Amino acid sequence: MTRTSRRPGTTTASVVGVVAAGVPLAVLAVFFVLPVGGMLARGFVDDGTFDPGGVLQVLTRPRVHRVLAFTVLSAGSATVLAVLLGVPAAYVLSRLRFPGVRLLRAVVVVPFVLPTVVVGVAFRQLFAASGPLGGLGLDGTPVAIVLALVFFNIAVVVRTVGAQWDGLDPRREEAAAALGARPAQVWWTVTLPALRPAIVSAASVVFLFCATAFGVVLTLGGLRYATVETEIYLLTTTFLDLQAAAALSLLQILAVVALLLLAHRARATEVALARVDRPRRRPRPRDAWAFVVLGLVLALVVAPVATLVARSLRTADGWGFDHYRALAAGPTEGGSNALRVPVTTAVENSLRIAVDATVVAVVLGLLVVLVTTRPRPAGRRAARWARALDGIFMLPLGVSAVTLGFGFLVTLDRPPLDLRSSGMLVPIAQAMVALPLVVRVLSPVLGSIDDRQRQAAATLGAGPLRVLRDVDLALVWRPLLAAAGFAFAVSLGEFGATSFLSRADRPTLPVVIFQLISRPGVDNAAMATAAAVVLGALIVTVMALVELMPRRGRIA
Amino acid sequence: MRAEVHHQSVPSDQHRSSQQRPRGPRRRAGLALAAAVSLLATACSAGGGGDSQDAEDTVVLVTHSSFNVPDEVLDAFTDQHGYTVEVQAAGDAGELANRLVLTRNSPLGDVVFGIDNTFASRVVDEGVLADYTPATLPAGAEEHVLPDATAAGQLTPVDRGDVCVNIDDGWFADNDVPPPATLEDLTKPAYRDLFVTPGAATSSPGMAFLLATISHFGEEDWQDYWRELIANGAKLTSGWTDAYTVDFTAGGGDGDRPIVLSYASSPPFTIPEDGEEPTTSALLDTCFRQVEYAGVIAGAANPEGAQALVDFFVGGEFQAALPESMYVFPVSDEVELPEAWSRFAEVADTPHDLLPALIDQQRDTWLKEWNEVVTR
């Protein structure tokens, strides 16, 4: 189908395209570029004079080199490990049918939302010399940090790759097998190339998450191991050395850009796929190895969670639900006075904010993806713009939450952008974190839709919006659910920006957990773990609901 | 926006599934949809309500994340003065100070609570605060007023807490080891591998402990002490939480170190349910005193309300609520302490301290030197 034949719709389509790209860009400009730019500017301007030399000087400090090397090394190994474990797990969880598979799919996502501070303490309890795995001698080592990073991020790989795998047309693989290819050959020549966009997407997100991980590195790394992110935190909150913090933030931005360029090259050979729905099949004996990997993943996910659950149930005289009851009681009816509100109120706050954040992230994410993945007959320049747009929305993942949080305070402080005390700031900040994930989950799926499906619809008389609805949205329905679930999970678990911006009388669950865990008293610590278990249960429920949604209908 | 997404995708899919799917999944799908719909219906924008109050009716309190008093106490303030208190709490004392410094051209609120004696000089020197202190202070508060004249005119002492080495008395009795008492004891072979403390760079009690050692051993010799401490197997964690709850033997986490850096107010929390006395105690020769201050922020939108709130902070009602809700001692001698506190939360007679101006001037240098010593 050529451009000429669609001329009547072209003008509308490009107007829609500009609006679709403009809205998310405007939001990103106000809630990301402006605050981060504001903090960078404060670093570059020293005593009223522009002093870029001072910032560059920081980059020559030996400590900065050590910090940078450790960041790349730890995030890199965690990413590799997460992909090696996550891809087979995604295979089992999205291609096979066996009892309990839906529950397992929900369970794998739990770590993603647990507050890092609590998980940090759970990992330390596991690995401390006196803990159940103390014999491994991992307490305070980089290995413990990497394992914790994998623990948090394995869900990204399982979900992103799973969403792609779920809709792959099996006929290509079947055809290859029928032509005599061995299973390994089918994997290397057919399946892997088709999955590659999703794997690269997931790996780049995981790397950025690991590179900007904060609470868990601080807890497990102690004082010996610092990453760029923990260093920015120390420089900003303890030393008020904005120049050095700006230098490191700049480094993060450059790293994101470099990573995106690399990821783009690796994704370059996307395969056009006709996405079809198909029943999941029963496991065969040769799937055994994938189940072994899934077992490892579950062990990694379950061990720290089990530590948490056990601690939350242990009372002074045995076992019981005392800490959960204390949580629900709140400050006035015999609960801990460390709580300002009963935990039910915090749960309600969390859910409300998460719904808002999810809506914002999904709507913006969908707009971005629709713009970036629509085929552009106009030529290379448009394609390059689309790619740049796609990359820009990854930036929030790679830039320090501390820089962003302080940036909010110093830039969104006067009309027309006097937003510091607005209640919408929390969901919007969370949506900024979730948006890249939504884009990464949807982008490979929409990008791999065979454009001939759209062309066929257009030939049959469908206008551009009708094509959008009946081809793009119909095919993306299930990944969209996955993305929404992810955004919801991110919002429920988000702590950094939330603790910075949320109002004390409307705490979210992670904020309450942090308050409890920083107070003296064994009971408060145990209540914090109980609240973390509640948070985990909440996300399993939400994810299970997503699982129960009908799978996408077959397109006639 | 929400309704649009909802109508666009959900009904069409339900329609499809009713054509193609057997009964079971459809019922489940219906359940899931119902749950999702009710979730959407109950959820509303977090921005709604509460934001529209006039500046004249509201006092915005900027504080750290440990700020926590019962609603009745703040309600009492509203009853007396007619202002509603809006609390903006985030970060620790250091982060609070730096937030104020960064936003001094457009203040975050009217009143700050939680600037401690280690960060007082920074906010005063940066001109963050307006001149105001209550006309009268309660008995006992006077001794905590800052020595510097400008600082004394801007910051009002509200509470104090001692950061002290704590020990697990049970462990020392069971193992027949005489308990330590002084900072010097911690470097003796008898206490090898028994001490855990949060680090000064990442934890404010950790910083207080570093300041205690600098105060005790002097600016010349504190580094030698820390070398000996590390050589004697002292363990450093990043925060108080995991030092106390993971590594300490009496912190609920089955740790293996019976000596921990914590607070003078920690022992009352270790009274067993079937017992009368705490199982831990604080070593009163090892304490550093942290005093927390409140002040009116320069450029406050509601300066009258801000002044009234500072007055309220040193009043009996607020002072009496401090121990149970924030685990600190009131500066006022006039209020009664909870029973467990008056019996078991002992206060050091002569805690270590340093001049706030010296702390502010030397903090970065000390931290860098300390980092060198402990990561070697």
Return the residue in B19, B44, B66, B95 with the most chain A beta carbons within 10 A, the one to mutate for interface testing.
Answer: B95
The position carrying tokens 């969403």 is: A163
Region at B261 (left for phi over 0; alpha for psi -120 to 50; beta for the rest):
beta
Q: Is A515 in CB contact (< 8 Å) with chain B?
A: yes
Q: Is B365 in CB contact (< 8 Å) with chain A?
A: no
**Contacts within 8 Å (CB) and 24+ apart, B245-248:** B245/A121, B245/A517, B245/A522, B245/A525, B246/A121, B246/A124, B246/A125, B246/A128, B247/A128, B247/B196, B248/B166, B248/B168, B248/B196
Q: Is B53 in CB contact (< 8 Å) with chain A?
A: no
If you average pLDDT over residues A386-393, what whole number do you get?
80
The yes-or-no verdict on residue A336 having pLDDT over 80 is no
If you average pLDDT over residues B101-119, what whole number do you get?
90
The yes-or-no verdict on residue B15 having pLDDT over 50 is no
Three-state DSSP class for residue B119: coil
The yes-or-no verdict on residue A454 having pLDDT over 50 is yes
Around A209, how many Cα atoms within 13 Å sit in the side-chain half-sphere?
30
Tell me which range, A250-259, A381-390, B183-192, B348-357, is most confidently predicted by mean pLDDT: B183-192
Mean of the per-residue pLDDT values of chain B: 83
Give the pLDDT band (50/70/90) at residue B7.
very low
- Calculate the alpha carbon distances from B115 to B37, B87, B111 in Å: 46, 15, 11
How many inter-chain contacts (A to B, CB under 8 Å) are there?
A: 213
Same domain, B358 and B255: yes
Residues of chain B contacting A240 with CB distance shorter than 8 Å: 98, 101, 122
Same domain, B209 and B267: yes
Position B23 in a domain? no
How far, in whole angstroms, is CA B223 from its chain's centroid? 27
Residue B244 to residue B164: CA distance in whole angstroms = 13
Q: State residue B90 phi and psi, 5-degree precision.
A: -160, 150
Residues of chain A contacting B71 with CB distance shorter than 8 Å: 331, 340
Residue A125 to residue A528: CA distance in whole angstroms = 15
Q: Is A415 in CB contact (< 8 Å) with chain B?
A: no
In B, residues 124-153, which contact A (CB 8 Å cutoff)? none
Question: Are B375 and A224 an interchain contact pair (Cβ–Cβ within 8 Å)?
Answer: yes
Quickly list H helices, A167-241.
170-178, 183-186, 192-211, 215-221, 228-233
Q: Which residue in the set A240, A410, A423 is minimally distant from B103, CB to CB? A: A410
Position B36 in a domain? no
pLDDT of residue A223: 72
Question: Are B43 and A240 an interchain contact pair (Cβ–Cβ within 8 Å)?
Answer: no
pLDDT of residue B376: 62
pLDDT of residue A261: 83
Residues of chain A contacting B66 with CB distance shorter than 8 Å: 515, 518-519
The position carrying tokens 């529209």 is: B52
| Choice among A500-514, B156-170, B233-247 with the minimum mean pLDDT | A500-514
Question: Are B238 and A223 an interchain contact pair (Cβ–Cβ within 8 Å)?
Answer: yes
Position B235 in a domain? yes
| Choice among A287-301, A376-390, B101-115 with the minimum mean pLDDT | A376-390
Same domain, B284 and B334: no
Q: What is the residue range of A524's domain?
A: 14-274+306-548
Position A282 in a domain? no
Residues of chain A contacting B122 with CB distance shorter than 8 Å: 240
Work out whether the CA dihedral A266, A268, A274, A275 comes out positive or negative.
positive
Q: List Cβ neighbours of A209 (8 Å cut-off, separation of 6 or more).
A: A149, A152, A153, A156, A397
Check residues A417 and B63 and name the one with the higher pLDDT.
B63
Region at A554 (left for phi over 0; alpha for psi -120 to 50; beta for the rest):
beta
Question: Are B102 and A554 an interchain contact pair (Cβ–Cβ within 8 Å)?
Answer: no
Position B134 in a domain? yes
Q: Is B316 in CB contact (< 8 Å) with chain A?
A: no
Question: Are B32 and A548 an interchain contact pair (Cβ–Cβ within 8 Å)?
Answer: yes
Residue B179 DSSP label? P
pLDDT of residue B2: 31
Same domain, B253 and B131: no
| Choice among A30-44, A169-183, A213-227 with the minimum mean pLDDT | A213-227
Q: Is A12 in CB contact (< 8 Å) with chain B?
A: no
Around A447, how many Cα atoms within 13 Å sit in the side-chain half-sphere?
26
Position A471 in a domain? yes
Same domain, B175 and B79: no
Same domain, B307 and B363: no
pLDDT of residue A269: 54
Element holding B292 (H helix, E strand):
strand B280-296
- Calculate the alpha carbon distances from A176 to A188, A374, A527, A553 in Å: 11, 30, 56, 26
Tokens in use for B258? 């019976």
| Choice among A207-216, A522-531, B10-19, B344-353 with the minimum mean pLDDT | B10-19
**CATH code, domain with A439:** 1.10.3720.10
Tokens in use for A153? 């991020």
Q: How far is B199 from chain A (nearest CA, A)?
A: 7
Position A296 in a domain? no
pLDDT of residue A553: 42
If you average pLDDT over residues A272-281, what whole number do you get?
63
Residues of chain B contacting A409 with CB distance shorter than 8 Å: 99, 102-103, 108
Closest-CA residue to A204 (of A482, A504, A436, A367): A436
Q: Is B327 in CB contact (< 8 Å) with chain A?
A: yes
Question: Across-strand partners of B115?
Answer: B293
**CATH code, domain with B195:** 3.40.190.10
**Cβ atoms A256, A394 nearer than 8 A:** yes
The yes-or-no verdict on residue B309 having pLDDT over 90 is yes
Tokens in use for A311? 């601690």
Same domain, B264 and B129: no
Residue A68 to residue A226: CA distance in whole angstroms = 9
| Widest distance between CA atoms in chain A | 79
Q: Which residue in the set B20, B39, B244 is minimally distant from A355, CB to CB? A: B39
Q: List Cβ neighbours of A139 (8 Å cut-off, separation of 6 or more).
A: A124, A127, A128, A129, A131
Q: Are strands B235-237 and B195-198 parallel, antiparallel or unpaired?
A: parallel
Q: List Cβ neighbours of B148 (8 Å cut-off, separation of 6 or more).
A: B121, B124, B356, B357
Question: Are A222 and B40 an interchain contact pair (Cβ–Cβ within 8 Å)?
Answer: no
Tell me which range, A381-390, A542-551, B223-232, is most confidently predicted by mean pLDDT: B223-232
pLDDT of residue A53: 83
How many helices (H) and strands (E) would you count in chain B?
Answer: 13, 9
Q: Which residue in the set B89, B94, B265 is minimally distant from A504, CB to CB? A: B89
Position B370 in a domain? yes
Over residues A97-129, the pLDDT tens digits come to: 889 888 888 888 888 878 777 788 788 888 887
Residue A71 to residue A57: CA distance in whole angstroms = 20
Give the pLDDT band (50/70/90) at residue A379.
low
Same domain, B211 and B269: yes
Give the pLDDT band (50/70/90) at residue A240.
confident
Q: What is the residue range of B239's domain?
A: 162-289+352-375
- Calculate the alpha carbon distances from B162 to B165, B225, B357 in Å: 10, 21, 20
Q: Which residue in the set A340, A422, A550 is minimally distant from B17, CB to CB? A: A550
pTM over 0.95: no
The yes-or-no verdict on residue B40 having pLDDT over 70 is no
- What's the total number of domains in chain B? 2
- Calculate the alpha carbon distances from B297 to A297, A338, A550, B105, B120 in Å: 52, 27, 56, 11, 13
Over residues A171-193, the pLDDT tens digits come to: 888 899 899 988 889 888 888 88
pLDDT of residue B234: 93
Question: Are A238 and B367 an interchain contact pair (Cβ–Cβ within 8 Å)?
Answer: yes
pLDDT of residue B131: 96
User: Residue A377: how many CB atoms within 10 A of its CB?
Assistant: 13
Residue B189 DSSP label? G
Q: State which amino acid sits at residue A37.
A: G
Q: Is A519 in CB contact (< 8 Å) with chain B?
A: yes
pLDDT of residue A270: 54
Question: Are B92 and A237 an interchain contact pair (Cβ–Cβ within 8 Å)?
Answer: yes
Q: How far is A504 from chain B (nearest CA, A)?
A: 6
**Contacts within 8 Å (CB) and 24+ apart, B74-79:** B76/B317, B77/B308, B77/B309, B77/B312, B77/B318
Question: Are A503 and B71 an interchain contact pair (Cβ–Cβ within 8 Å)?
Answer: no
Question: Are B68 and A549 an interchain contact pair (Cβ–Cβ within 8 Å)?
Answer: no
Q: Is B366 in CB contact (< 8 Å) with chain A?
A: no
Mean of the per-residue pLDDT values of chain A: 82
Over residues B325-341, the pLDDT tens digits come to: 888 899 999 998 888 88
If you average pLDDT over residues A153-177, what whole number do you get?
85
Position B27 in a domain? no
Tokens in use for A215? 């609470």
Q: How far is B39 from chain A (nearest CA, A)?
A: 8
Question: Across-strand partners of B160?
Answer: B291, B329
Give the pLDDT band (50/70/90) at residue B55.
low
Question: Across-strand partners of B61?
Answer: B87, B111
Q: Is A469 in CB contact (< 8 Å) with chain B?
A: yes
Question: Are A130 and B256 an interchain contact pair (Cβ–Cβ within 8 Å)?
Answer: yes
**Cβ atoms A352, B46 nearer than 8 A:** yes
Quickly list H helices, A32-169.
34-44, 52-58, 62-95, 101-107, 110-113, 116-127, 142-166
Same domain, B89 and B129: yes
If you average pLDDT over residues A339-355, what whole number do you get?
85
∠A89-A90-A94 over CA atoms, to 5°? Answer: 125
Position B314 in a domain? yes
The yes-or-no verdict on residue A48 having pLDDT over 50 is yes
Q: State which amino acid sits at residue B121.
A: S
Residue B63 to residue A515: CA distance in whole angstroms = 14
Residue B85 DSSP label? E
Q: Is A310 in CB contact (< 8 Å) with chain B?
A: no
If you average pLDDT over residues B248-268, what whole number do you get?
88
Position A544 in a domain? yes
Q: State which amino acid sits at residue B290.
A: Q
Q: Is A426 in CB contact (< 8 Å) with chain B?
A: yes
Residues of chain A contacting B236 with CB distance shorter than 8 Å: 222-223
User: Which residue is closest to A347 within chain B, CA to CA?
Assistant: B43
Question: Any idea how long chain A is?
Answer: 556
Same domain, B149 and B166: no
Question: Are B43 and A355 an interchain contact pair (Cβ–Cβ within 8 Å)?
Answer: yes
Residues of chain A contacting B244 with CB distance shorter than 8 Å: 520
Position A136 in a domain? yes
Q: How far is A52 from chain B (nearest CA, A)?
A: 20
Residue B110 to residue A134: CA distance in whole angstroms = 50
Closest-CA residue to A555 (of B11, B20, B4): B20
The yes-or-no verdict on residue B44 having pLDDT over 70 is no
Quickly list H helices, A212-313.
215-221, 228-233, 242-267, 288-313
Q: Is B349 in CB contact (< 8 Å) with chain A?
A: no
Position B42 in a domain? no
Check residues B342 and A517 and name the one with the higher pLDDT.
B342
Q: Which residue in the set A42, A409, A525 is minimally distant from B99, CB to CB? A: A409
ipTM > 0.90, yes or no: no
Same domain, B271 and B166: yes
Give the pLDDT band (50/70/90) at residue B26.
very low
Q: How far is B369 from chain A (nearest CA, A)?
A: 14
Q: How far is A413 from chain B (nearest CA, A)?
A: 7
Position A280 in a domain? no
Tokens in use for A279? 């029943």
Give the pLDDT band (50/70/90) at residue A515.
confident
Q: Which residue in the set B86, B106, B253 is minimally distant from A414, CB to CB? A: B106
Residue A300 to residue A295: CA distance in whole angstroms = 9
Residues of chain A contacting B239 with CB distance shorter than 8 Å: 218-219, 518
**Cβ atoms B146, B121 nearer than 8 A:** no
Over residues B64-90, the pLDDT tens digits come to: 878 888 888 999 999 999 999 988 887
Closest-CA residue to A160 (of A444, A385, A427, A422): A444
- What's the total number of domains in chain A? 1
How far, in whole angstroms, is CA B141 from its chain's centroid? 20
Residue A5 DSSP label? G
pLDDT of residue A535: 87
The yes-or-no verdict on residue A530 having pLDDT over 70 is yes
pLDDT of residue B152: 94
∠A118-B345-B133 over CA atoms, to 5°? Answer: 90
Around A400, how many Cα atoms within 13 Å sit in the side-chain half-sphere?
28
Give the pLDDT band (50/70/90) at residue A330.
low
Same domain, B156 and B166: no
If you average pLDDT over residues A240-252, what whole number do you get?
90
- Calculate the alpha carbon distances from A438 to A356, A362, A434, A448, B156 in Å: 15, 6, 6, 16, 49
Q: State which amino acid sits at residue B296.
A: V
